[in-house]
Amino acid sequence: MQHIPVLLRESLELLAPERGGLFVDCTLGLGGHAEAVLQKAPGARLVGIDRDPKAIELAARRLEPFGDRVQFITGEFKDVRELLGQAGIERIDGGFLADLGVSSMQLETPERGFSFQREGPLDMRMGGDGMTAGDIVNGYSEGELVRIFREYGEERRSRRIAREIVERRRHKPLESTTELRELVAQVSGPRRRGRHFQRIDPATRVFQALRIEVNEELAGLEKLLDNTVEMLEQDGRLVVISYHSLEDRIVKHTLRGMARGEVDQTTGRTRSETQAIELLTGKPVRPQDDEVAANPRSRSARLRAARRL
Ligand SMILES: C[S@@+](CC[C@H](N)C(=O)[O-])C[C@H]1O[C@@H](n2cnc3c(N)ncnc32)[C@H](O)[C@@H]1O
């Protein structure tokens, strides 16, 4: 199974693994970025974290040639401090990478239910436990559905879609990805209206919203950023690639806050004394046209990076 690493050249430039030291890939996936880090820098070691045991299994196979330079942890990145602590690691001198979202392996496995283009159960769990998308669709109140479609999908038709879901499930629970896709398509009407064609599938936003809710994606992100910056040694790097504006907004604001520093009312420490990081990217780095042409999944990627002061 293929997953082409996104913004690979740019990630390596900003992580600068040639400095050597310990790097943590918080979203190991199929190990594409991790492999490139280990290849580029013989002096670098890497810990790979992923909540998906299947991803860890596949990446471990791929990274076998690097022997004990690499180590694997199954878990959620919001717990990065505890997970690394259990492995006896307190400080990171190299850097952290987080390439958020789902991997092509997850998207292309129909039984996992991430893709509306493939018939599958409404699952969408990246790890193996917790609530599924089906539990949400069939169990949340109409109001809760409206809220998640609006907040996490920025979906304009949230009310109508939620109402239709509640109406349908009265007769029979919604079970499959294609069933949900068709329901959204019916509510949305034709994609072509006169000369206007809606480029993205109308189900995209609803699927994004459910995936964020199932995996509590946004809540974990802020915690990840706080924890990683705290664990970095001076000059250690943090590189984050996000795939939708909600994620990118969190990354942008959290990193900007840490780069600005705050006046500490109790100790009287000034802004410049509390600045934790320097931003290495002003505007987010976007993929070049040739990358988007070769790998359409990279289209929405935005990379932001920082260096620990
Ligand atoms: C876009 S893929 C990473 C691909 C990888 N960079 C590569 O080149 O192969 C994102 C990965 O992050 C994992 N992931 C997403 N959210 C996570 C979380 N909260 N904790 C740990 N892993 C997570 C997913 O399971 C998925 O395997």
Residue 183: CATH number of its domain:
1.10.150.170
Q: What is the whole-number distance in angstroms between the Cα of residue 2 and the centre of ligand 1? A: 14
Q: Does ligand 1 have an atom closer than 6 angstroms to the CB of 126?
A: yes
Torsion over CA of 5, 7, 12 and 14, rounded to 10 degrees? -150
97-106, 114-123, 164-173, 197-206: segment of lowest average pLDDT:
197-206
Domain boundary among 196, 215, 234: 215
Residue 308 has pLDDT above 70, yes or no: yes
Q: What is the pLDDT of residue 263?
A: 75
User: Which amino acid is residue 3, in one-letter code?
Assistant: H
Does residue 204 share a domain with residue 225?
Answer: no
Residue 161 has pLDDT above 70, yes or no: yes
Q: Does ligand 1 have an atom closer than 6 angstroms to the CB of 211?
A: no
99-108, 246-255, 282-291: segment of lowest average pLDDT:
99-108
Domain boundary among 194, 215, 236: 215
Residue 253 in any domain: the answer is: yes
Residue 3 in any domain: the answer is: no
Residue 299 in any domain: the answer is: yes
Does residue 102 share a domain with residue 226?
Answer: yes
Does residue 261 share a domain with residue 304?
Answer: yes
Q: Does ligand 1 have an atom closer than 6 angstroms to the CB of 48?
A: no
Does residue 49 share a domain with residue 136?
Answer: no
Share of the chain above pLDDT 70, in %: 99
Q: What is the whole-number distance in angstroms between the Cα of residue 17 and the centre of ligand 1? A: 20
Does residue 16 share a domain with residue 85?
Answer: yes
Q: Does ligand 1 have an atom closer than 6 angstroms to the CB of 51?
A: yes
Residue 274 has pLDDT above 90, yes or no: no
Ligand 1 atom at minimum distance from 32 CA: 8
Residue 2 in any domain: the answer is: no
Domain boundary among 215, 234, 267: 215
Residue 248 has pLDDT above 80, yes or no: yes
Residue 252 has pLDDT above 70, yes or no: yes
Q: What is the whole-number distance in angstroms between the Cα of residue 50 and the centre of ligand 1? A: 6
Report the predicted TM-score, pTM, of the whole model to 2 decimal places. Answer: 0.93
Q: What is the whole-number distance in angstroms between the Cα of residue 168 and the centre of ligand 1? A: 33
Does residue 303 share a domain with residue 223?
Answer: yes
Does residue 199 share a domain with residue 119?
Answer: yes
**296-300: long-range contacts (C-beta < 8 A, 24 or more apart)?**
297/4, 297/6, 297/104, 298/4, 298/6, 298/7, 300/243, 300/244
Residue 205 in any domain: the answer is: yes
Residue 225 in any domain: the answer is: yes
Round the average pLDDT of the chain to a whole number and report it: 94
Q: What is the whole-number distance in angstroms between the Cα of residue 99 and the centre of ligand 1? A: 6
Question: In this structure, how many other beta carbons lie within 10 angstroms of the beta carbon of residue 18?
Answer: 12
Q: Does ligand 1 have an atom closer than 6 angstroms to the CB of 308?
A: no
**pLDDT band for position 55 (cuts 50, 70, 90):** very high
Q: What is the whole-number distance in angstroms between the Cα of residue 155 and the centre of ligand 1? A: 25
**pLDDT band for position 267 (cuts 50, 70, 90):** confident
Q: What is the pLDDT of residue 195?
A: 75
Residue 8 has pLDDT above 70, yes or no: yes
Q: What is the pLDDT of residue 170?
A: 96
Does residue 56 share a domain with residue 187?
Answer: no
**Could you read off the pLDDT of 69-110 as tens digits, one per residue?**
999 999 999 999 999 999 999 999 999 999 998 998 999 999
Residue 269 has pLDDT above 90, yes or no: no
Q: What is the pLDDT of residue 129?
A: 84
Q: Does ligand 1 have an atom closer than 6 angstroms to the CB of 17?
A: no
- Domain range holding 158? 111-215
Does residue 302 share a domain with residue 175?
Answer: no
Residue 280 in any domain: the answer is: yes
Domain count along the chain: 2
Residue 275 has pLDDT above 90, yes or no: no
Residue 1 in any domain: the answer is: no
Residue 276: CATH number of its domain: 3.40.50.150
Q: Does ligand 1 have an atom closer than 6 angstroms to the CB of 94?
A: no
Share of the chain above pLDDT 90, in %: 86
Residue 1 has pLDDT above 70, yes or no: no
Q: What is the whole-number distance in angstroms between the Cα of residue 292 and the centre of ligand 1? A: 20
Q: Does ligand 1 have an atom closer than 6 angstroms to the CB of 35?
A: no
Does residue 158 share a domain with residue 198?
Answer: yes
Does residue 151 share a domain with residue 117?
Answer: yes
